[in-house]
């Protein structure tokens, strides 16, 4: 069985604009953010989607609605469904805080100063573990907790969809980036996260996940 997953990073939000962490917390799309996903909708307007999911917050719901409003092939009554299992990693105590300050704190005892430093020296898993270590409430997701949740999300999709179906999923930067780094590190997600409105395609199979392409938003690209 192969299910085609089209991950689209939601449009820019107010917290994105201010460089603040935004996992389970939420904020509205900016004017640029609405333009981000409107452009994505145009690129995907001729795709027939069998289902559409958002991750339980307004930024992915609004993004999904803007994309589906332009779709000329999917059923007119197709509505986004919430699938919180695939939401962004939880930053716990540090939700909505300045990203640069948070990652400086997370890496302070490990010889790093930035999020990218942690990735370069220790890998993506440690960005979650280090943040969990310094969260005074212990609410930031550690790596194992995070992946257990994500895998349950993929199991849900396997159980509810059929071979060959096309599924649109409005998703997030760290989740998409982490998946691509895990399953196709040669595509460079370690150095570059997906742009707002960019499309990443996965093939979900019985025994795993294959990355078909990553971070596409060019008008002349194949989707």
Question: Which residues are known catalytic residues?
Answer: 10, 88
Q: How far apart are CA 27 and CA 133, in angstroms?
A: 26
13 a known binding residue? yes
| Three-point CA angle 93, 96, 102, nearest 5° | 65
21 a known binding residue? no
| Three-point CA angle 41, 46, 49, nearest 5° | 80
Q: How far apart are CA 148 and CA 139, in angstroms?
A: 15
61 a known binding residue? no
56 and 23 Cβ atoms separated by less than 8 Å: no
216 a known binding residue? no
83 a known binding residue? no
- How many residues does this entry show for the chain? 223
112 a known binding residue? no
113 a known binding residue? no
**Binding residue numbers:** 9-16, 59
Instruction: Please give the annotated binding residues for substrate, written as ranges.
Output: 9-16, 59
């Amino acid at each position: 069985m192969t299910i085609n997953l089209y991950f689209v990073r939601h449009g820019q939000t107010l917290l994105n604009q201010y460089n603040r962490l935004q996992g389970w917390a939420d904020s509205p799309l900016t004017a640029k953010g609405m333009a981000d996903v409107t452009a994505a909708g145009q690129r995907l307007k001729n795709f027939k989607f069998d289902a559409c999911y958002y991750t339980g917050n307004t930024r992915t719901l609004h993004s999904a609605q803007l994309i589906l409003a332009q779709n000329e092939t999917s059923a007119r009554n197709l509505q986004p469904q919430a699938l919180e299992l695939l939401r962004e990693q939880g930053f716990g105590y540090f939700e909505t805080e300045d990203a640069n300050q948070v990652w400086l704190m997370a890496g302070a005892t490990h010889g790093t100063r930035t999020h990218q430093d942690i990735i370069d020296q220790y890998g993506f898993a440690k960005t979650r573990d280090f943040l969990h270590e310094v969260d005074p409430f212990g609410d930031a997701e550690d790596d194992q907790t995070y992946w257990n949740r994500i895998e349950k999300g993929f199991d849900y999709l396997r159980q509810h969809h059929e071979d060959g179906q096309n599924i649109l999923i409005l998703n997030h930067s760290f989740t998409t980036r982490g998946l691509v780094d895990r399953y196709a590190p040669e595509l460079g997600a370690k150095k570059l996260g997906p742009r707002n409105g960019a499309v990443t395609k996965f093939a979900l199979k019985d025994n795993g996940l294959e990355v078909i392409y990553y971070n596409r938003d060019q008008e002349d690209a194949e989707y």
